[in-house]
Chains A and B, each alone.
Chain A
Amino acid sequence: MGRKLLFDKAHIEGIRYYDVYRANGGYGSAEKALKSMTPEQVLDEVKKSGLRGRGGAGFPTGMKWSFIAKPEGVPRYLVCNADESEPGTFKDRYLMEFIPHLLIEGLLISSYTLGCNSCYIYIRGEYAWIPDILEQAIAEAKKNGWLGKNIQGTGFDLEIYVQRGAGAYICGEETALIESLEGKRGNPRIKPPFPAVKGLWDCPTVVNNVETLATVVPILRIGGDEYAKYGTGKSTGTKLISACGNINKPGVYEIEMNISVEEFIYSDEYCGGIANGKRLKACIPGGSSVPILPANLLLKTAKGEQRMMTYESLADGGFATGTMLGSGGFIVLDEDQCIVKNTLTFARFYHHESCGQCSPCREGTGWMKRVLHNIEHGKGKMSDIDLLWDIQRKIEGNTICPLGDAAAWPVAAAIRHFRDEFEWHVLHPDEATKRNYGLAHYADPLEIAAPAAV
Chain B
Amino acid sequence: MFSEEKLNKVKEIIARYPQGKQKSALIPVLHLAQEEFGGWLSSETMDYVASLLQITSIEVYEVATFYSMFNLQPVGKHVFEVCQTGPCMLRGSDQIIDYIKKKLDIGVGETTKDGLFTLKTVECLGACGYAPMMQLGKHYREHLTPEKVDAIIEECRAKAN
Contact = CB atoms under 8 A, between A and B. Distances in A.
A43 interface: no
Nearest to A89: B126
A288 B85 CA distance: 10
A333 interface: yes
Contacts of A90: 126-129
B28 interface: yes
Contacts of B66: 168, 185-186, 355
Contacts of A89: 126, 128
A129 B87 CA distance: 22
Nearest to A83: B126
A352 B67 contact: no
Interface string A123-166: 01111110000000000000000000000000000010101111
Interface in B50-105: 53, 55, 59, 62-63, 66-70, 84-87, 89-91
Contacts of B28: 163-164
A291 to B, nearest CB: 14
Contacts of B9: none
Nearest to A93: B126
A227 B84 CA distance: 39
Contacts of A164: 27-28, 31
A250 B133 CA distance: 14
B56 to A, nearest CB: 12
Contact of B86 (A169, A180, A250, A288): A288
Contact of A169 (B23, B31, B123, B135): B123
Given A184-B63, A186-B66, A128 B124 contact: no
Contacts of A342: 86, 89-90
B127 A245 contact: no
B126 A127 contact: yes
Given A75-B18, A183-B63, 11 more contacts: A85-B126, A87-B87, A125-B31, A163-B27, A166-B68, A166-B69, A184-B62, A245-B90, A246-B91, A331-B128, A349-B124
